[in-house]
Structure 1
Amino acid sequence: MAPKKGDGASSSPQHETFTRSLWAFRSAGRLDSERSRGTDLDKTADSTKDDEQARAIAWRETDMATHFANVVNVQGTREQVDLFFGTNRTWNVTDVSQVVVDLSNRIILTPLAAKRLLSVLGGVLAEYETRHGRLDLEA
């Protein structure tokens, strides 16, 4: 469900794509968990549709900050997954002995939230590659 204008949310196509991917993931997650318990999938699918229609997301941007990052690092423990974001300040790595990265943000997630993020990002990147071509990590 896309955010509505006037509620402080952006309604750009990219934002709507992410939102649709998030709802698709939540629905798929519910169906998978119901399938593992042996629940009637037709009943679950109907209740999932009803739940999605009844729920609305209010995207509030009043306290949001936007940061650019071209470097990301990840570390984790049993209890959490830490994402570190920063900006590489070294433009010509062949001329220096040390690469300088200014870290700007650390996001701490539960392992379950990290797995949800993995699923949503995978869907968004698959759609990106369908529209714009394959991303090459070795480039």
Structure 2
Amino acid sequence: MRATKKNTKKTALGLLMATLMGAPAPVAFAEGDEHDGQWLNSRCRAARVAFAVEQKQLQGFVKVKYDIQANGRVTNIRVVESDPPGVMDRSVKNAIRGWRYFAYFKDGVESGRKDVEMTFTFGGSAEAKEASCTHMPWSETTTAQAK
């Protein structure tokens, strides 16, 4: 096709429309506590229940602190407190390592967050408390065996 004045205008108009339609939406600045682990969470998964927890039907919690990089990845995960100690620590750390967060803006600049806190709970029947990103009930087969 030969370049003519008519074709050039159509091409320019097409490029302009494609650029405008493909432009990202403006970023909304959300208000919230930068230390809240649920705030701006884009992807989470619950920890796998450890075999000992299932067998002994243990209940407890794991409290963690971690940092979130500007790209939304979780780093520097550390267990602050757990009860019973050490039973679910590794499982919780593995789960939270896969979490992702939306961008956080501080003073108009995308930045990471430090010392974000989260408490995971585990145990209890599936009927008693529904599974979520931070609660892991016993499996239904374990609960049925206990009855």
TM-score, scaled relative to structure 1: 0.26
TM-score, scaled relative to structure 2: 0.25
Higher relative contact order (CA 8 A, sep 6+): 2
| CA radius of gyration, larger in | 2
More strand, by proportion: 2
